[in-house]
Amino acid sequence: MLVILMENQLLEPQRVCQGCPLSDRSGQPRWRGGQLSCGHPVGKTTENLPSQYECQMGFRIANIE
């Protein structure tokens, strides 16, 4: 499950990506084959953290399983 990381909260991508010109037709981030194609990976600080990406609009997105 993808979530948007804000300072003190987690947001559903539908709330943020809906208006993004880089989102797919359903207003979701372009997530394909375990990679965010509308952003780039951000290095993990520890192994306990989920994979994180930074979208081209500047939001941090995490893949929580």
> What residue ranges in the chain does DSSP mark as E strands?
2-5, 10-11, 31-32, 35-36, 39-42, 51-55, 60-63
Q: What is the pTM of this model?
A: 0.79
Q: Give per-residue pLDDT as tens, 7-41.
A: 889 999 988 999 899 999 999 999 988 889 999 99
- Where exactly are the structural domains of the chain? 2-63
